[in-house]
Amino acid sequence: MIRIIIGFDQREAVAYHTFCQSILEKASEPVSFTPLALNSLNIYRETHTDGSNTFIYSRFLTPFLCDFQGWAIFADGDMICRDDIAKLWALRDDSKALLCIKHDYKTKEHNKYLGNKNLDYPRKNWSSLVLWNCSHPKHKILTPEFVMQQTGAFLHRFTWLDDNEIGELPKEWNWLTTEYEDNYGAKLLHYTLGTPCFKDYWDADMADEWHDCFARTQDGMHV
């Protein structure tokens, strides 16, 4: 069973469901979805005030939510999977604490969806798609109480780990639309500036891929 924890924000709930649709369409192995919704985390209270979405910090509870056992994928909800998620799952490496795409870029836009500021910072978007080795002993510190007390810089840079414990995934598994050139060969598209469900991003780069997948979530509704 491939465990997938996906960020859920009610303001773009349709993005979560569309992402799940895209995964299910191509998955060759069974998957389980856990929506990372604040209202379901009675052991965690969001104390940070600088987040652009409601799961920007709670994502680091992934090992905790998995009882610090096995592996899990965390992904932002504003994505579309274009290939078999089992291929990403197969890249697990027990010698690493986690694996991610090590983006190195400067943003093209200073603002993103819902008027949020889009700042540059070290390791930006590394934590938006993570293969977590939940059993790694260094993750034991990631309790709800600990995460609530930490800064964004500490968490999003995976500061509790040594650099050699952070494995690298191919960029095609977290392709940042608009920030990168169009790539219809990418395995996973990430609409990091704004999901095409928002009117300001309805016609954004590669939005056609998102709209096509969303339409398939509606198939059969009027039969």
State pLDDT tens for residues 138-161: 999 999 999 999 998 999 999 999
Residue 222, domain member (yes or no): no
Residue 210 has pLDDT above 90, yes or no: yes
Q: Give percent of the chain above pLDDT 90.
A: 77
CATH number at residue 201: 3.90.550.10
Residue 42, domain member (yes or no): yes
Residue 49, domain member (yes or no): yes
Spatial distance between the Cα atoms of 195 and 12, rounded to a whole number of angstroms = 8
Residue 152, domain member (yes or no): yes
Domain that holds residue 151: 2-217
Rg of the chain in Å (alpha carbons):
17
Residue 15, domain member (yes or no): yes
Residue 20 carries which side chain, given as an amino acid letter?
C
Residue 171 carries which side chain, given as an amino acid letter?
K
Q: What integer pLDDT is reported at residue 223 of this predicted model? A: 46
Determine how many CB atoms are found less than 10 A away from the CB of residue 121: 11
Determine how many CB atoms are found less than 10 A away from the CB of residue 96: 19
- What is the number of domains present in the chain? 1
pTM across the whole model: 0.91
Determine how many CB atoms are found less than 10 A away from the CB of residue 28: 11
State pLDDT tens for residues 1-28: 999 999 999 989 999 999 999 999 999 9
Reported confidence tier of residue 197, pLDDT bands at 50, 70, 90: very high
Residue 55, domain member (yes or no): yes
Residue 183 phi, psi dihedral angles, 5° rounding: -145, 95
- Give residues with Cβ within 8 angstroms of 150, minimum separation 6: 57, 60
Reported confidence tier of residue 47, pLDDT bands at 50, 70, 90: confident
Residue 6 carries which side chain, given as an amino acid letter?
I
Residue 223, domain member (yes or no): no
Spatial distance between the Cα atoms of 7 and 195, rounded to a whole number of angstroms = 13
